[in-house]
Amino acid sequence: MATPVLDKAEAEAQAKAAALITVTFRVRRFNPEVSAESVWQDFQLQIDPKERVLDGLHKIKWDLDGTLTFRRSCAHGICGSDAMRINGKNRLACKTLIKDINPAKPITIEPIKGMTVLKDLVVDMEPFFQAYRDVMPFLITKDTNEPTRERLQSAEDRERFDDTTKCILCAACTSSCPVFWNDGQYFGPAAIVNAHRFIFDSRDEAGEQRLEVLNDKDGVWRCRTTFNCTDACPRGIEVTKAIQEVKRALITRRL
């Protein structure tokens, strides 16, 4: 009885080993305690092409070089921790399969642009979250009494802002925006998307205040509709469209 089981396990192990390919991960390393400059470092590893870039980073951190620093929490595309620049494009490392990004060539991995790098792939997200906080991303109602029942909403009213509820705050959009790269003062796509989520919510009553916030010199009017944000969004949110809708709402309500 034992022999066939062993054979099966052996065959599986062989099949697994045969599926492995050699890839080069070219990682942008930065350690402020060693050098003020960041450098590229190559790692060779054996990996199944159906695995994700995050699995490759794990292999590096766990087996090759424990000093490699990057953020990841859930590792399944929901927490938004592991946005990074992979082959020059902002993506989530946990949603990018090796086979989809040409493993024949070295895979370049950099921290997201436009924010201060703290170490390796970890950046200071504070400017990003500051812009998020500035648009008041929470329900505001004029009714000060505590609600006695849930706030009902029609399916159509819910549909109005459905797209922008999908945001996971990974910063892939904001850090792909060339306007944000310059001085980091622009609110950025993510903050506008999260403002959009409440501005167009029929239950919320502070849409006007949020529009006023985004009417800033560094608000929605700095958007140049380059569509980098829409391309970068790992959740497929039509980010540029949401920004345009906020612009339109500002114009129709102000004029």
Partner 1 sequence: MSTTETTASGIGPVEGAALYDVDNPAPVIEPPRKRTKKTPKSTRGNFEMYGWLFMRLSGIVLVVLVLGHLLIQLVLDGGVSKVGFAFVAGRWASPWWQIWDLAMLWLAMLHGANGLRTVINDYAERTNTRLWLKGLLYTATVFTILLGTLVIFTFDPNIR
Residues that bind partner 1 (CB under 8 A): 32-33, 116, 118-119, 122, 124, 126-127, 130-131, 133-134, 178-179, 182-185, 187, 212-213, 215-219, 221-222, 224, 247, 250-251, 254
CA 102/CA 34 separation, integer angstroms: 32
Between the alpha carbon of residue 97 and those of residues 131, 140, 166, the distances in Å are 31, 40, 22
Least Å distance, CB 97 to partner 1, is 30
19, 5 contact by CB (below 8 A): no
Least Å distance, CB 131 to partner 1, is 6
Least Å distance, CB 71 to partner 1, is 11
Nearer to partner 1, 221 or 227 (CB): 221
**In the 8-state DSSP scheme, what is residue 165?**
G
**In the 8-state DSSP scheme, what is residue 75?**
S
Nearer to partner 1, 14 or 67 (CB): 67
Least Å distance, CB 253 to partner 1, is 11
Nearer to partner 1, 20 or 140 (CB): 140
Least Å distance, CB 76 to partner 1, is 24
Residue 245: in which H helix or E strand, if any? Answer: helix 239-254
Least Å distance, CB 149 to partner 1, is 31
132, 190 contact by CB (below 8 A): yes
Nearer to partner 1, 203 or 222 (CB): 222
Token pair for 147: 């609600």
207, 157 contact by CB (below 8 A): no
Nearer to partner 1, 12 or 126 (CB): 126
Least Å distance, CB 39 to partner 1, is 18
Count, residues in the chain: 255
Nearer to partner 1, 103 or 219 (CB): 219
**Partners of 89 in the beta sheet?**
86
Computed on alpha carbons and rounded to an integer, the radius of gyration of the chain in Å comes to 22
Q: Rounded to a whole number, what is the largest CA-CA distance in the chain? A: 82
193, 237 contact by CB (below 8 A): yes
**Partners of 42 in the beta sheet?**
26
Nearer to partner 1, 44 or 116 (CB): 116
